Amino acid sequence: MANSLPRNGKDFPRGPSTGTDEVPEERSPLERLASFRFTYLSIFIFLAAYALTMEGFEGLMNQHFTAAVQAAADPDPSAGPPLAQIQTGIEALLQDSPWIRLGGVRVLPLVLGADGLTVLFAGDRPVVLPPLPGDDAEARLLPATVEVVAVTVPLSSVAANAILVVYAGLLVTILFIYTRTLTRREELRLAAVVTARDAISDRALTIETELATVRERLAQIEPETEVSAEEIQALEADRRQLTVKLAELELREEELRARSSRIQGLEEERRTLEEFLDEAMQDLGQKDEEIRSLERHIKKVRKSAGARESGREAESLARRLRTLYKNLEFDERAVADLVRYRDEATKLKAEEALKRLSDDAENLAVRRKVGGLPPHLSIFEMGFAGKCRLYYTKGRQRRHRILAMGAKNTQKVDLEYLSRLPRVETRS
């Protein structure tokens, strides 16, 4: 019976294995304070980046408006009085510039006459000049000296607020990710401590059960049976040590729970920052709507420019086709259809079909008459590039006349166009 007793404290059952038997070490107050280094560093970088960005933005605006004012102050001698041109040009620049009108940038130009004393333009409005004696009075004030005194971006302007909102959004996102990571790490540490505490509690309970069993056996056996007192003392010592360690782990658990409450405080601060960010985004949305209206106007202008470019491309392509294929006539509709093929491979296939039709039209195997058209029209179609079609008839001066080009999805529109064609007078 004595042989069944454990020999030392290391032989006691340790309960179920959790894989995290090691208790996390407690950090010192300095280490806990250093855990906020990332937050302090993020806020410092945010402020420094915002300040440097504003400095750089003001420098770019200074260069931009210096060049713009110099250009506006260059009068055209044939367009009227030069001094009036200078004042009108600079005033129009200050009123029409989107950086000033929408972004809130402040520009203070200064224009002096050639004598260095007569002020032609100062601040945001032209200077009314007194009557100048002499016929060449204005000529004596030229060339004018142009200088941009100051270009500033107020912190309350739309441009400065846009930059601030961008950096604030980045800061809140980074702090949110860092807080979530820190919370997840502390939860893992807390779970490890709780698991270790439960394992030690189970071990202490097992030791107490073993001690009770040993005492019952000692009371039942004969007095002359000697039981090793060292083993009993070892068990009691292990129990005392485990009890002390269990108390320490409970204190550690309370500290971790207090730290978790501080993390919740940071979470509330993050939500407050997000509310401030939402308000700033609403203000920014109003400005974005104004910007989108300007962009729609710009798109309309670009669309009209694109239509002119497409017309030039069609004219150039028509000249090239009529030069390359001497036996073919090309309608404007056919050239426009070929221009609409944005795929270069499809365009090459179309020109291959045109070359075959121009060089050896009588021996073409893939050719059929288009059905469903008025009887006075005799139009043929030839396929190329899979689902694409080429419609042609006899030409007036040349062998064939190319009427249109299309695909499977445009067949209905193409046939309607072909059916409206008048009788084609061919060469004899």
Higher pLDDT, 163 or 139: 163
Which contacts (CB < 8 Å, 24+ apart) does range 402-408 have?
Answer: 402/328, 402/329, 402/330, 402/331, 402/334, 402/354, 403/331, 403/333, 403/334, 403/379, 404/331, 404/333, 404/334, 404/337, 405/334, 405/337, 405/338, 405/341, 405/350, 406/337
- 6 touches 12 (CB < 8 A): yes
* pLDDT per residue as tens digits for the range 261-312: 778 777 787 788 888 787 778 777 777 777 877 777 677 766 665 556 666 7
Instruction: Select the CATH number that applies to the domain covering 325-419 from these four: 3.40.50.2300, 3.30.565.10, 3.40.718.10, 3.30.2310.20.
Output: 3.30.2310.20
Residue 20 has pLDDT above 60, yes or no: no
The winner for highest mean pLDDT among 39-43, 51-55, 233-237, 363-367 is 51-55
Position 204 confidence tier, pLDDT thresholds 50, 70, 90: very high
Residue 16 has pLDDT above 70, yes or no: no
* pLDDT per residue as tens digits for the range 45-63: 988 998 899 889 888 888 8
What gap in Å lies between CA 35 and CA 364, rounded to an integer? 82
**Confidence (pLDDT) at 15:** 44
Position 132 confidence tier, pLDDT thresholds 50, 70, 90: low
Name the amino acid, one letter, at 355: K
**Confidence (pLDDT) at 195:** 92
With a pLDDT cut of 90, the percent of the chain lying above it is 5
With a pLDDT cut of 70, the percent of the chain lying above it is 76
Domain boundaries, the chain: 1-324, 325-419
Position 6 confidence tier, pLDDT thresholds 50, 70, 90: very low
**Confidence (pLDDT) at 230:** 73
Residue 313 has pLDDT above 80, yes or no: no
Residue 227 has pLDDT above 80, yes or no: no
From the number of C-beta atoms within 10 Å of its C-beta (0-12, 13-18, 19+), residue 35 rates as middle
Q: What is the mean pLDDT of the chain?
A: 77
Higher pLDDT, 76 or 225: 76
* pLDDT per residue as tens digits for the range 333-361: 888 888 887 778 888 888 888 888 888 65
Residue 207 has pLDDT above 90, yes or no: yes
Q: Phi first, then psi: what are they for 5, rounded to 5°? A: -80, 150
